[in-house]
Structure 1
Amino acid sequence: MLAQKESSLTFTDARQLTLVGKALPADAFFHRIDTAVFPGIPPAVKHLLTHSAGLALSFETNSTQLVVKWCTNPRGPGDNLTAIVQEGMDLYIKRNGQWQYAGVARPTTHDCNEFAVVQNMAAGNKECLLYLPLYDETYSVQIGVERGAKLISKPNPFKRNILVYGSSIVQGASASRPGLAYPARLSRETGYNFINLGVSGSAKMEAEVAEMIATMPMDAFILDCVPNSSPEQVTERTAHLVRTIRAQHPLAPIIAIQSIIREGGNFDELRADQTTAQNGNFLREIRQLQSGDEGLYLITAEDLLGDDHEGTTDGTHPNDLGFDRMLQKIRPAVLEILRKHGI
Structure 2
Amino acid sequence: MRCIFIFTMKKSCFLLLFLCLHCVSYVDAQIVYHDADSFPLYGKATQATTERYVRLPDSLQSVCREPLWYLSRNSAGMSVRFRSNSTQIALKWESLNNFHMDHMADVGVRGLDLYCWDEYAACWQFINSARPQLKKTESIVVGCMAPQMREYMVNLSLYDGVSSLAIGVDSLSVIEQPQLDLPRREKTVVMYGTSILQGGCASRPGMAHTNILSRRLNRECINLGFSGNAFLDYEVAEVMAAVDAGAYVLDFVPNVTVEQMEERMETFYRIIRDKHPDTPIIFVEDPIFTSTHYDTKGAESLSKLNTTLRRKFKELKKTEKHIYYVSSKDFIGKDREGTVDAIHFTDLGMMRYADVMYPVLKRVID
Counterpart in 2 of 1:101? 126
Q: TM-score, normalised by structure 1?
A: 0.93
Deviations 1:64-116 (A, max 9, x none): 1111111012434112211001110000001122100001110122x101111
For the Cα contact (< 8 Å) 2:246–2:365, is it kept in 1?
no
Output the TM-score relative to the length of structure 2.
0.88
2:138 aligned with 1:114: yes
Match of 2:151 among 110, 127, 135: 127
Distance in 2, Cα, partners of 1:135 & 1:142 = 19
- Relative to 1, partners in 2 of residues 1:51 and 1:336: Cα closer, same or farther, differing over 3 Å? same
Q: CA deviation at 1:222?
A: 0.6
**Is the 1:214–1:248 contact (alpha carbons within 8 Å) kept by the matching residues of 2?**
yes
- Tell me what 2:312 maps to: 285
Task: Spell out, residue by residue over 1:245-288, the C-alpha distance to the aligned partner (whole angstroms, 9 max, x if none).
Answer: 11111111101111111123232222222211111111111111
- Alignment partner of 1:87 is 2:110: yes
| Alignment equivalent of 2:162, drawn from 121, 133, 138 | 138
Partner SS for 2:315: helix
Is the CA contact 1:71–1:139 (under 8 Å) kept in the aligned structure 2? yes
* Alignment CA distance shift 1:250-1:123 (3 Å): same
2:212 is the counterpart of 1:190: no
Q: Unmatched 5+ residue regions in structure 1?
A: none
Match of 2:352 among 325, 333, 339: 325
Q: Which runs of 4+ in 1 moved over 3 A?
A: none
Checking the alignment, whether the CA contact within 8 Å between 2:247 and 2:361 is kept in structure 1 is no
SS in 2 for 1:219: strand
Cα offset, 1:293, TM superposition = 0.8
Change in Cα spacing, 1:201 to 1:37, as seen in structure 2 (3 Å) is: closer
Q: Alpha-carbon deviations, 1:29-69, whole Å to 9, x = none? A: 11122232564222111111111111111000111111111
Question: Residue 329 of structure 2 aligns to which amino acid in structure 1?
Answer: E
8 Å Cα contact 1:264-1:314 kept in structure 2: no
- Letter of the 1:17 counterpart: F
- 1:251 alignment partner in structure 2: 278
Separation in 2 of the partners of 1:6 and 1:225?
A: 52
Q: Identity of paired residues, percent?
A: 32
Equivalences, count: 335
Q: Are residues 1:9 and 2:22 paired?
A: no
Instruction: For 2:206 and 2:337, locate their aligned partners in 1 and report how far apart those are by CA, in whole Å.
Output: 21
Q: Which amino acid aligns with 1:13?
A: D
Q: Is the 8 A contact 2:194 2:251 kept in 1?
A: yes
Q: Which of structures 1 and 2 has the bigger CA Rg?
A: 2
Counterpart for residue 18 of structure 1: 40
Q: What letter corresponds to residue 19 of structure 1 in structure 2?
A: L
- 2:178 aligns with one of 139, 154, 179: 154
After superposition, the C-alpha distances for 1:210-259 in whole angstroms (9 at most, x for unaligned) are 23332333232110111111122122221111112111111111011111
Quote the Cα distance in structure 1 between the aligned partners of 2:239 and 2:357.
25
Task: Give the alignment partner of residue 34 of structure 1, picking from 40, 57, 81.
Answer: 57
Partner SS for 2:102: coil
Residues 297-308 of structure 1 aligned to structure 2 (within 5 Å): 297-308=324-335
Distance 1:315 1:254 in 2: 28
Deviation, 1:158, is 2.0
* Cα pair distance change 1:322/1:61, threshold 3 Å: same
1:277-314 Cα shifts (integer Å, max 9, x gaps)? 11111111111101111111110111111121111011
SS in 1 for 2:245: coil
2:67 aligns to what SS in structure 1?
helix
